[in-house]
Structure 1
Amino acid sequence: MAIGSDLDLRGVLTRIVEASCQLTDAEYGVLGIVDDDGAFVDLVPNGAVAETFQEIGRMPLGEGLIGLVPQERRTIRVDRVGEHPVSSGSFPDGHPPIDSFLGAPVLVRNQAFGHLFLGNKRGGAEFTPTDEALVEALAGAAGAMIDNARTFEAVEWRRRWLAGTAEVGGDLSGTVRVQEALDELVVSLRVMCGARRVAYVRVDGELLEIRQLAGKDDGAARVLERLGDTIRHVTSSRVPERLPEKHGRATLVVPVHTRLAGSGVIIVDRAHETPSLQGVMLDLVTVTATQLGLILDRDQALRDRAQLLVAKDRDRIARDLHDLVIQRLFATGMQLQSARSLDIDELRDRVDSTISDLDLAIKELRAAIFELGTGTGRPLLDDVRSLLAEYVRVLGFQPVLRVQGPVDRALVPATGAHVLTTLREALSNVARHARAGSVVVELTASSAWFRLRVSDDGVGFDPATAPRGNGTANLRARAEGLGGHLELSSAPGQGTQLEWIIPAVG
């Protein structure tokens, strides 16, 4: 009854261990939780050894009597541990010595959830058949209680997930709001899953582009490199994959389906997965990927609509040029042609009228040219992706692209050309000098600044002794000419990082 009074899974497990020790008068007790392969992933000790187990800091290897219980899937009682044939006779440093032993499997729906181990009956006595029967009964009842607690944990996790994502995507007016919504989505997902990092990665052929990232930046490129084949397989098959890791962790790679915004995946790196959340977590991450895909499609539809409006506006300007300017120039030419036979006074009036018409035509031409000149043209991101694809053969590998903020709308086309020139120079320097195995290109746009960062894992150099070339000087002069600055950091054996920062204009 005491065990069944708690629906929190950890609380249920703790009560099982404490009740087992009290009923059998055992000095030490621990419940070892196992994964699908039978490896220990967590330990729930009683109060007497809780601090000791934290100091040991590692899971049991499943050897000796610890491994005999899961191997035979039955209760095992040993009066003298040191004399048992499978006993190793040694314990980890800091582990209390065990003389008598009682172990039983804890099964949930005939599957091993964990194993209950008790040691050293108080007073130096031996565990009795009654103790063995008590532990067997307790383990059987505990299985049902654990099943209930796991169901409650899954339901509670769903409730928290719904609460955490309910408001995301409500108001998506403007590109900046879309970026904020996507950032909120991956941050919420990382918190819910207890993951090291969560990223939305856009897949464009061989190019992997990090669009949103929650968690530490360092190591994100290595995760993409490690999961590259899995990411492309998930993108093509549209089937999510779960990659189990040690200590109750798993990495989830889930496809993001879109109709307009291109292919992509959500990566949940090293999610904390309890047994009750294995299927639930993957399902809800898949639902989150669907939500993210809808947000991306809506944003892309708005972008396509804006480009369509620009195209329609250019058609209107072309019609205006033909109907107004060209026709006005044609009429002016006809007036001049017919002025040959006029007397001097009428000719003077005709010339004055023609000059006025020409001035008006010039104003209309200037207005049309200005409107055409403010068109968006090709997006900066498309040019950056093409440039990275061009450098794959030069570098020998595919650089990783990371984008933050409204990059396509932060700069006017003329300034975007400076960004491409700077990126080309930076990649050329990496190819010539760095001997790198990976490169991360980051584009970050805010309302005030635009930043291009190029990081490599190459040999690096000492900035104090390295000769200064014309390339770096040109990049610095280009940034300063636009009101920005260049920052270059490196150290021998630690790679190089270039940051080119200019004011956002556009």
Structure 2
Amino acid sequence: MTPDQGAGLPVLLEAVLGVGSEPELRTTLQHLVDSAADICGARYAALGVVDPERIRLTGLYTAGMSEAERAAILGLPDGRSGLIGTLISDPRPLMPDDLAKDPRAPGFPPGHPPVHSFLGVPIRVHTEVFGYLYLTEKRVGGPFLPEDLALVRVLASQAGIAIGNARLYETARRRERWIEGAAAVTTALLAGRPAADALMCVAERARLLADAAAGVILQPTPEGGMEIVAASTHGDPGDLVGTTIAPGSAVLEQLLGGEPVFIEDSSTDPRMTTPVRERFGPSMMLPLQSGGQLIGTLALPRARGGRPYDAVDRLLASQFASQAALALVLADAQHDREQLAVYEDRDRIARDLHDLVVQRLFATEMMLESTKKRSAAAASGDTVGEELARAVDELDSTIQEVRTAIFALQQPPTDAPATFRGRVLRETRGAAVLLGFAPSVHFAGAVDALIPDPVAKDLLAALRGALAAAHRRAEVTSIEVEVDAAPDRVRLTVTDDGRTRRGTRGTTLTWDAAL
């Protein structure tokens, strides 16, 4: 052991202890590069992180450079040429005597400080090359010595172990965040959020977890493309919602087939055809599917020039997408069950009203009607008859109102059609449940364009009353509903073939309204 080595050992031991004590990967890497510069007395030191999938640099940590010197460097080393490229392609220690005479000297990015002496070693994590550590410009002048190389190799070896531990710690923390995020999304969706809010919840949570510029949900369109239906961004996402991927796109074929798509740079990838692609860089597009059912796609683009997604990012985001898709399916099924429970409860109420309340009212009306006839010959018959007639009319009106309420209970509580034509058809379908047959409906004229909402509400109320009255009549087997709209008026006609109290068959009720 030389005197220089003996002097450097305490510094090395302190550096190894410092590197191994940091759980955060970024802090570990910065501490490593600072320690290497101190041990060997180098003016500059740098640690480059290599992406094994892309064989290029994804990060650079430096020591000894001022903010002005760092700002003057234009980008990272290309990782393919010069000494840096040699360290990546052939990860063995390098210590040339003088860079000015070495043909491998080019490769530093423009703006890098001029260097002469150089020492570089690879950093391995198990069998994988994590990156490289290089030192330049020994402060005492002259080239680096073999003793310096020995110290740096020991530091790099210990750093590989510390980096491996830090990566495991960071991966565990990222996995924990994604699991917590998936659990939060599942809880929120099963709490009964509307469909639009549920999709927005997935997009928002995924954007935050992935540190993306946007979280986007796309769903298939009837034309065979895909449309953005929910978007979460740092600002206003209004220009994203409604953006479509046209049929025939190579990306679209993968997405509709339930395959994930990973994009290096959305702004330059020819597969990306949407007009908003210019603002984004790395992107993940993950299928939202459960049990073979494709709900849509979760897209997580980062800003242009943003950090690429690594293998851990892709794995965790794909697992989140699978969990979110399952939660969406379960939430939709729960919503259907709740709707079915509402319908069943309404049917029960309608049956109870029809079987108990209406029948008793009708029986009371018949008794009063009989009493009125028997009292017609009495001395006070005029007064009693009038009172009984009013009572009969009140009961008749009450029965009509209850029947109208019964028909209204047959209507779905949500997702009502917006057009007048659809609302009329909705009323007649609901009436068919009690009538035992579906009334026939005919429209004449542009009913949806001509009839304003206030008039539409009055006509629908009249239609409900007419259907309830028809149901009251005996032996009714058919009902015809006709809506005739003209530019200046609208007419609603309801005709049934039921038997009236007087024994005649067939009743026609007509309502006219000015437009």
Q: TM over 0.5, yes or no?
A: yes
The structure 1 residue matched to 2:227, chosen from 208, 211, 229, is: 208
Q: 1:59 and 2:94 equivalent?
A: no
* 1:77 counterpart SS class: coil
Residue 114 of structure 1: aligned partner: 131
Q: Secondary structure at the match of 2:232?
A: strand
Shift of 1:8: 0.8
SS, match of residue 76 in structure 1: coil
In 2 relative to 1, CA 141–320 (structure 1 residues): closer, same or farther, beyond 3 Å? same
* Partner Cα separation in structure 1 for residue 160 and residue 317 of structure 2: 22
Q: 1:196 is matched by which residue type in structure 2?
A: A
1:305 pairs with 2:305: no
In the alignment, which residue of structure 1 is the partner of 2:46?
A: 30
Task: Evaluate the alpha carbon distance shift between residue 9 and residue 118 of structure 1 in structure 2; reply closer, same or farther with a 3 A threshold.
Answer: same
Counterpart residue type for residue 140 of structure 1: S
1: CA distance between counterparts of 2:418 and 2:74?
50
Aligned equivalent of 2:392, options 353, 357, 361: 357
Alpha-carbon shift at residue 356 of structure 1 (Å): 2.9
The alignment partner of 2:95 has SS state of strand
Residue 122 of structure 2 is aligned to residue 101 of structure 1:
no
Cα 1:294–1:346 change in 2 (3 A) is same
Residue in 1 that maps onto 2:28: 12
Match for 2:169 among 137, 141, 152?
152
Note the 1:18-417 alignment, pairs <5 A.
18-35=34-51, 36-49=53-66, 52-56=69-73, 58-62=75-79, 63-88=81-106, 91-93=109-111, 95-162=112-179, 175=192, 186-203=203-220, 205=222, 206=225, 208=227, 210-211=229-230, 213=232, 215-216=234-235, 217=237, 220-221=240-241, 225=245, 230=251, 233-234=254-255, 236-237=257-258, 240-245=260-265, 249-257=282-290, 263-270=295-302, 273=309, 277-310=313-346, 313=349, 323=359, 353-370=388-405, 372-373=407-408, 375-376=411-412, 379=415
Q: Deviations for 1:134-170, whole angstroms, at most 9, x for unmatched residues?
A: 3333333322221111100111223344555656665
When residues 295 and 222 of structure 1 are mapped into structure 2, their CA distance, relative to the original with a 3 A threshold, is: closer
Residues 352-388 of structure 1: per-residue CA shift (max 9 Å, x gap) = 63553233222332344356458446716999xx9xx
| 339 and 258 in structure 1: CA distance in 2 versus 1, 3 angstrom threshold | farther
Identity over aligned pairs, percent: 21
CA contact (8 A) 2:286 2:321 kept: no
TM-score (norm 1): 0.60
**What SS does structure 1 have at the residue aligned with 2:136?**
strand
Q: Secondary structure at the match of 2:140?
A: helix
Q: Distance in 2 between matches of 1:86 and 1:297?
A: 65
**How far apart are 1:105 and its partner, in Å?**
2.4
Q: Which is further off, 362-371 or 125-134?
A: 362-371
Unaligned runs of 5+ in 2: 1-15, 267-279, 423-451, 458-515
Q: Quickly say closer, same or farther: Cα 1:89–1:116, change in 2 above 3 A.
A: closer
Letter in 1 for 2:127: N
| CA-CA distance at 1:90 after TM superposition | 7.2
| SS of residue matched to 1:119 | strand
Q: CA deviation at 1:9?
A: 0.3
Q: Read off the aligned partner of 1:131 and give its amino acid letter.
A: D
Q: What displacement does 1:7 show?
A: 1.3
SS at match of 2:76: coil
Determine if contact 1:256/1:292 at 8 Å carries over to the other structure. Answer: no
Deviation at 1:18, TM superposition (A): 1.5
Does structure 1 conserve the Cα–Cα contact (< 8 Å) formed by 2:362 and 2:399?
no
- CA 1:176–1:128: 2 relative to 1, 3 Å: same
Distance 1:372 1:201 in 2: 39
SS of aligned partner of 1:123: coil
- Report the 3-state secondary structure (helix = DSSP H, G, I; strand = E; otherwise coil) of the residue aligned with 2:151: helix
Find the structure with the greater CA-based Rg.
2
8 Å contact from structure 1 (residues 332, 358) kept in 2: no
Q: Secondary structure at the match of 1:58?
A: coil
Cα distance, 1:96 vs structure 2: 1.0
- String of CA shifts for 1:304-359, please: whole Å, max 9, x gaps: 43344445555666767985788888x599969x9699769798666763553233
Please identify, of 42-51 and 304-313, the stretch whose mean Cα deviation from structure 2 is larger: 304-313
Q: Distance in 2 between matches of 1:31 and 1:339?
A: 108
Structure 2 vs 1, CA of residues 6 and 86 (structure 1 numbering), >3 Å: closer, same or farther? same
Q: Which amino acid aligns with 1:114?
A: G
2:447 is matched with: none
Retained in 1: the 8 A contact 2:216–2:228?
Answer: no
Change over 3 Å in CA distance of 1:39–1:304 after alignment to 2: farther
Give the total of aligned pairs.
384
1:357 counterpart SS class? helix
CA contact (8 A) 1:248 1:274 kept: no
Cα deviations across residues 413-469 of structure 1 (Å, max 9, x unaligned)?
A: 959x99xxxxxxxxxxxxxxxxxxxxxxxxxxxxxxxxxxxxxxxxxxxxxxxxxxx
- CA–CA distance in structure 2, aligned partners of residues 241 and 191 of structure 1: 20
**Letter of the structure 2 residue corresponding to residue 134 of structure 1:** L
The equivalent of 1:440 in structure 2 is none
Q: Displacement of 1:133 after TM fit? A: 3.4
Residue 87 and residue 268 in structure 1: after superposition, are their counterparts in 2 closer, same or farther (change >3 A)? same
Superimposed CA distance per residue, residues 77-102 of structure 1 (whole angstroms, 9 cap, x where no aligned partner)? 22222332233387513x21122222
- Between the aligned partners of 1:381 and 1:111, the Cα distance in structure 2 is 61
Structure 1 segments unaligned to the other structure (5+ residues): 387-412, 419-506
What TM-score comes out, normalization by structure 2 length?
0.59
**CA deviation after TM superposition for structure 1 residue 37, in Å:** 0.8
The verdict on how the C-alpha distance between 1:99 and 1:65 changes in structure 2, with shifts beyond 3 A counting, is same
CA contact (8 A) 1:65 1:87 kept: yes
Specify the SS of the correspondent of 2:23.
Answer: coil
